[in-house]
Structure 1
């Protein structure tokens, strides 16, 4: 399998890089000459200064090497899409394997290791796109580049005939009902095959960053999709949370504050469908995609979106398609403190409890929001 091949390539690359590494000649010669000087006070001072210079040069060289490894990509001037070099894919796979190992330990720690696919809910299976030809499963998570991923999958499946740029595909078309085959359409044998033979991937994001992105896009924005959520959810929040709302707010629901949105989430009678789940845009990822059952072999993160997307496409054998470089990750993280600082610590603590599995399973913390972690 491709996954096995890249794992082997990764381990051999790491071994060879540690044994064959050589400093550039200028650093080697400088280091050697400095070691030959007599141990006088004067030469010692010179050696000391020279060693500092050599150390700085070595650090700069290693830093450059690390950047090259981490961002080992190049620009294809013909289609303006970012592709990755072989060694960058290997490094990304190494990081991905660490994420899988960490996730499995957390699943065991939380007691979720006794479940199987029969424990998946209909809502979870509805979020899992499958393809028998390429043998992949993708669990899409709203607010984690899922629109662009669906666009890419449309190109892979030949469902878009008007060019090869995924960004030209209307988002509404990518999200249209019936566009993709879902996990719940498979029989028991096929489901077992997915768990044993398919590349299964998911993309995750800091829980509070994802939550804030959903609020800003769906309740604070002025796009048509925002109007829909403001009328459907915003008005419900105004009616259920706000004291003495204006007629305008009751009619349009377009001025809901982030604090009111958080209060809404922490009021189950208002925010939970059938007292069990949130809207998919702010439902915890662990509940949408159940990673402890599906054991995803690519766990992509929004923070490393392009590298992880390239790995997922490589492992599915779709190397001729690249994730759109025109996608620009949002600057939501820069706004976290602005929106969360006014909230009471008690509200943040309760919100953390709602998303605690996401924090634990995907190795996220609260330091970005609070400047400290809860004990």
Structure 2
């Protein structure tokens, strides 16, 4: 028959259990401190005070709740700290340049009249300024997935892409009432992605108006809306009605708008050339009136996008789509841009630089390499 454990044995077991519990509690508190310190580092980019408001506490709780220690590897933390440093520099530059602009520009209350490009996700408390030609389709794909609309199709909408689905299903700040807008602008994480103005202009031309490769030529079932609304109008203005009629007679064969003509159109003071696909980001997203927490760049899209997704505590299974290198709108950087802009007269290039002067200054881009080609 087994002997009953004596008092000394029981005391020994209790002691060992106590040591084990103490170790577990200590280890757990260390992990909690690691998570807390990490989230404090992340909050630096938000410019948040050490004292948390209720809203900030909810951000912190949501961030720490689901983060596993595997996501906090030393390499991830170090990479994020480097990213935070870069993003802080971008914010500092923006603040400095906005201060100069505000000498001649009164700050606007965005809650009263918000830009129409601000997309909202209430669950993750994020606001994104949707800038065309800066991977905006990919960001709308992310927002559709977050809202549960990525797989939602009806017979009428099954063929629609992310842009049209976005207009149907996504939430936009201007559709909320003023008090809701104000709360969201003060408490949600706000981000915008920017791009070198000249590369963005070239991307817009290639996607919407370039002969043979623009949307009308890539999609046989598309009407030539862009060409009729802008292309034909540009040719009419700079070549005359006879040339515009020639093009109109057979767009597939006759349409031959040049990039230089498109630049003339953009800088022409005698014509209204506004369109969100090539308007400056300063006008579209109001970065001097909205305190964006993250200013991402097209040129560092992969790292910046991944950081934003982690910052919003979005499921790691949701990945930012990688651009296809051969897509027409992804090929307007580097050597191609150098080649195309080389054919534009310098007088037009200087006017184009002036047209996008605010974007160059606010976001730290340089026009000189193109002006010196």
TM-score normalised by L of structure 2? 0.70
CA contact (8 A) 1:160 1:169 kept: no
CA contact (8 A) 2:131 2:281 kept: yes
Alpha-carbon shift at residue 223 of structure 1 (Å): 2.0
CA contact (8 A) 2:144 2:166 kept: no
CA contact (8 A) 1:200 1:298 kept: yes
1:330 counterpart residue number: 330
C-alpha distance after superposition, 1:235-268 (max 9, x if no partner): 1111111145164314437311011111111224
CA–CA separation in structure 1 for the residues paired with 2:117 and 2:257: 28
Pair 1:307–1:174, CA change in 2 (3 A): farther
C-alpha distance after superposition, 1:208-246 (max 9, x if no partner): 100011111111122236933112211111111114516
Alpha-carbon shift at residue 175 of structure 1 (Å): 4.8
Instruction: Identify unmatched segments of 5+ residues in structure 1.
Output: 12-83, 273-277
2:356 counterpart residue number: 355
CA–CA separation in structure 1 for the residues paired with 2:111 and 2:270: 25
Residue 241 (str. 1) matches residue 242 (str. 2):
no
CA–CA separation in structure 2 for the residues paired with 1:199 and 1:254: 45
CA–CA separation in structure 2 for the residues paired with 1:172 and 1:355: 28
CA–CA separation in structure 1 for the residues paired with 2:177 and 2:43: 35
CA–CA separation in structure 2 for the residues paired with 1:294 and 1:335: 34
TM-score normalised by L of structure 1? 0.69
CA–CA separation in structure 1 for the residues paired with 2:236 and 2:201: 21
Moved more, 178-187 or 254-263: 178-187
C-alpha distance after superposition, 1:126-159 (max 9, x if no partner): 1000122211100000000000110011111111
Q: 3-state SS of the aligned residue for 1:346?
A: helix
CA–CA separation in structure 2 for the residues paired with 1:173 and 1:192: 26
Once the two structures are superposed, the pairs formed by residues 58-207 of structure 1 within 5 Å of their partners are 85-111=76-102, 114-118=106-110, 121=113, 125-161=115-151, 171=161, 174-207=164-197
CA contact (8 A) 2:194 2:296 kept: yes
CA contact (8 A) 1:6 1:93 kept: no
Q: 3-state SS of the aligned residue for 2:330?
A: coil
Instruction: Identify unmatched segments of 5+ residues in structure 2.
Output: 1-34, 45-74
CA–CA separation in structure 1 for the residues paired with 2:340 and 2:179: 47
Q: 3-state SS of the aligned residue for 1:291?
A: coil
Task: Tell me the matched-pair count.
Answer: 288
2:310 counterpart residue number: 314
CA contact (8 A) 1:10 1:94 kept: no
1:227 counterpart residue number: 224
1:286 counterpart residue number: 282
CA–CA separation in structure 1 for the residues paired with 2:166 and 2:39: 35
Pair 1:312–1:247, CA change in 2 (3 A): same
Instruction: Give the ranges of 4+ consecutive aligned residues of structure 1 lying more than 6 Å apart after TM superposition.
Output: none
RMSD value over aligned CA atoms?
A: 3.0
CA–CA separation in structure 2 for the residues paired with 1:310 and 1:133: 18
Pair 1:94–1:174, CA change in 2 (3 A): farther
2:201 counterpart residue number: 211
1:59 counterpart residue number: none
Pair 1:255–1:85, CA change in 2 (3 A): same
